[in-house]
Amino acid sequence: MKSGSKLVKTIGIILIVLIISGYAIYQTYNLVAGPVLSVSYPASGMTYTEPLVEIKGFVKNASHITLNDNPIFVNEEGTFSEKLLLSYGYNIFEIEINDKFERTKREKIELIYNPNENL
């Protein structure tokens, strides 16, 4: 009877170790994966006839975010929104995020401002 009790105890210990290990892996995945950057609007290459554009996106695991080297702010859900004025012609914007381990992600957005396009 003791061997059956020992088997149940061993299986219980193994299950507890597996649950704790799985939870630790789940919690550290975001640290290992690094920062995530997704620009939802505008798409690179778009042409505008109005000079004001709003850049929207999502970040995850970021400790610092900049748009053209100027810091921008993110809400609790990880979304950001910044309005910018376009110069006539070709415009390039760069969004850069860093995590607490100094890993970096960058995304360039290239836009064209042509107020005369619809004439």
pLDDT of 15 > 90? The answer is yes
Q: Model confidence at 6, in pLDDT bands (50, 70, 90)?
A: confident
Burial environment of residue 113 by CB neighbours within 10 A (0 to 12, 13 to 18, 19 or more): buried
Residues 70-87, mean pLDDT to the nearest whole number: 91
Question: What pLDDT was estimated at residue 96?
Answer: 93
Q: Model confidence at 118, in pLDDT bands (50, 70, 90)?
A: low
59 contacts 52 by C-beta, under 8 angstroms: no
65 contacts 96 by C-beta, under 8 angstroms: yes
Rounded to whole angstroms, what are the CA distances from 56 to 29, 38, 50, 100, 109? 26, 9, 17, 23, 11
Question: What pLDDT was estimated at residue 100?
Answer: 83
pLDDT of 119 > 60? The answer is no
